[in-house]
Chain A
Amino acid sequence: MIFLKWISRIYLICILLFLYVPILVMIALSFNESQLYRIPIEWSTRWYEALASNSKLHSATLNSLTVALLSTCLSTLMGTAVALAFFRHDFRAKRLLQVMIFPPITIPWLIIGTAMLVFFFWVGIGRGLHAMILGHVALSLPYVVIVVSARLKSFDSALEDAAKSLGASYWQTTFWVTVPWLMPGIIAAALFAFAVSLDQFVISYFLAAPGFTTLPVEIYTAIRKGFTPEINAISTLVIFLSMLLLLGVSRFYRFGGRN
């Protein structure tokens, strides 16, 4: 038994190493002097300094954050409402509607992205900020519904009944009783949605307009055109931002279930 325990520990550590190799390489090379990624590494922060004057990456980062922020607000609002409706009411077509929420994560993004490109072009919505927000909200909706519904599972409906019997209206109950209780779930869902949007590449790639790209799209273009360690520097910053977000989520949403 002790033997097995050690094997499983060593195995877990190997898997973790495998998962972290590219990230550590990315970070290490962002501090490397050589433009051609020559090793061994010579310490330098020149690529971070170069970032400060790269206006293209600045605007792409700003666009990414704008899209992520706006689509997070919209999808959290709509997704929470849907989760509430599923929790409180039984109605015809409920099963169907529950299934309908999942296509954004069960159809390959390539197909959703190209379909949006075709349709938005056809009806005149076009590409750019508004198109990306349309797409990102649809992608993060399922995640919001799942996370908020998970929190609702442990909600005691007696609280709502009590509020109603004391004379609160439907919406008063919603905003003064249910939503405050749900808040940790809603915040976790919002952080989730934000991370999904910030990392989204495929949909953004098809909906990026010539003058409007996001950071992942800009990184992809840079990789294909021949890249510099500036890309490493900005990617390192993005990784730290994403990880901070995840740690934020873990404050509100218990990973790994019961311990």
Chain B
Amino acid sequence: MNQRAAILSLITPAYLWLALTILLPLSAMLYYSFLSDVPIGNREVSWTTENYRTFFEKAFYSELMLRSFKLGAEVTSICLLLGFPCALALAKSIRGRTKEALFLLIILPFWSNALVRIFSWTMVLRGNGILEYSINWLLPGTGPLDLMFTYPAILLGLVHSYLPYMILTCYISIDAIDNQLLEAARSLGAGKLTILFRLIVPLALPGIVAGSFLIFIPVIGSFMEPRLLGGRNGTFIGTIIEDQFTAVFNWPLGAALSFIMMGLVLLILFGFSPLVRRLK
């Protein structure tokens, strides 16, 4: 059997598929981002860099881009603060069947539809919703909370959606740390905090970095969560891009904004690459 033919027949279908669904669409989008209009029918279309200029000239867009990146950073940090201790507890202080069961319980909700989860939050947070009702029942006279359609509501919904990613990636790298290493440190007199920050955190860094990117990237592109939980306060670059494609039909501007967003993400990835390289 010719080795070359074997390799080709194994990989060609998948990569042709990816070319058709990822590579070519992204190229088409890049092309569109330099057009003055959508080339439908007989419209006059010319080359232009106006779509990119719009971004840099109108403070509106760059402010929204910044707002999205800030949201991404905040959601990622909260997930890390909540998720890391959870992963640590799961990996190092619980054993056997309980561990496997708890692990399944943590990834189960993450298997339910993201949209459905956000929808449930709207029922919890809205005026006269579950949260208001329960708090007023426990502490009568608290009055309305007005949480729905605010920035904290968006934050809450996104953290809830992405927390399992952080727990999962941190868990995998903490679980791989040899217990004997921790024992050795302890017997040499290292305190709990020393063990945590000088041993566990550095060794779990690959998981922390992986989890952070798995959360940060989708959050800055999110549009459904801000719309449903943020209402009028839910305008981010993701919702603006979505509008360009589904409501305003300014595809070239939407394409340009998407590429600027991807460019910024790549810049951040490169910024972190020395760290990532050190991990290998």
Contact = CB atoms under 8 A, between A and B. Distances in A.
Interface of A: 4-5, 8-9, 11-12, 15-16, 18-23, 25-26, 29, 37-39, 74, 77-79, 81-82, 84-85, 88-89, 91, 97, 100-101, 103-104, 106-112, 114-120, 122, 134-135, 137-138, 141, 169-171, 195, 198-199, 201-202, 206, 216, 219-220, 223-224, 227, 231, 235, 238-239, 242-243, 245-247, 250, 255-259
A8 B224 contact: no
Which 8 A-B pairs have CB atoms at the shortest separation, nearest pair first?
A: A108-B221, A22-B120, A8-B89, A119-B25, A115-B25, A85-B10, A170-B1, A138-B21
What class of interface size applies to chain B in its complex with A? 35 or more
Nearest to B20: A134
A245 B111 contact: yes
Interface in B213-249: 213, 217-218, 220-224, 227-228, 238, 241-242, 245-246
A88 B20 CA distance: 26
B24 interface: yes
Nearest to A86: B11
A250 B129 CA distance: 35
B224 A37 contact: no
24 contacts: A8-B94, A11-B86, A16-B102, A22-B124, A101-B18, A108-B217, A110-B223, A110-B238, A115-B22, A115-B25, A116-B21, A118-B25, A118-B245, A119-B27, A202-B224, A206-B246, A216-B113, A219-B113, A219-B116, A242-B111, A247-B104, A256-B171, A256-B175, A257-B172
Contacts of B29: 111, 114-115, 118-119
Contacts of A243: 108, 111-112
Given A18-B160, A26-B123, A85 B25 contact: no
Contacts of A118: 25, 28-29, 32, 245, 251, 255
Interface in B13-43: 13-15, 17-18, 20-22, 24-29, 32
Contacts of A171: 1
Given A18-B160, A119-B28, A216-B113, A81 B13 contact: yes
Contact of A199 (B86, B106, B113, B119): B113
Interface string B160-181: 1001100100011001100000
A94 to B, nearest CB: 9
A228 B245 CA distance: 28
B67 interface: no
Interface string B107-125: 1110111111101111110
Given A39-B128, A223-B119, A257-B176, 5 more contacts: A4-B192, A15-B167, A77-B13, A118-B28, A259-B95
Contacts of B254: 114
Contacts of B94: 8-9, 12
A104 B224 CA distance: 19
A186 B24 CA distance: 29
Mostly helix, strand, loop or mixed at chain B's interface? Answer: helix
B133 interface: yes
A103 B22 contact: yes
A134 B17 CA distance: 8
Contacts of B154: none
B120 A26 contact: yes
Contact of B164 (A19, A103, A112, A115): A19
A100 B278 CA distance: 22
Contacts of B45: none
B7 A111 contact: no
A239 B113 CA distance: 7
Nearest to A245: B111
B190 interface: no
B113 A25 contact: no
B85 interface: yes
A88 B120 CA distance: 46
Contact of B106 (A16, A169, A235, A247): A16
Nearest to B218: A108
Contacts of B128: 38-39
A246 B133 contact: no
Interface string B238-273: 100110011000010011001001100100000000
Given A19-B164, A25-B130, A138 B221 contact: no
Nearest to A106: B217
Nearest to B26: A115
B160 A22 contact: yes
B105 to A, nearest CB: 6
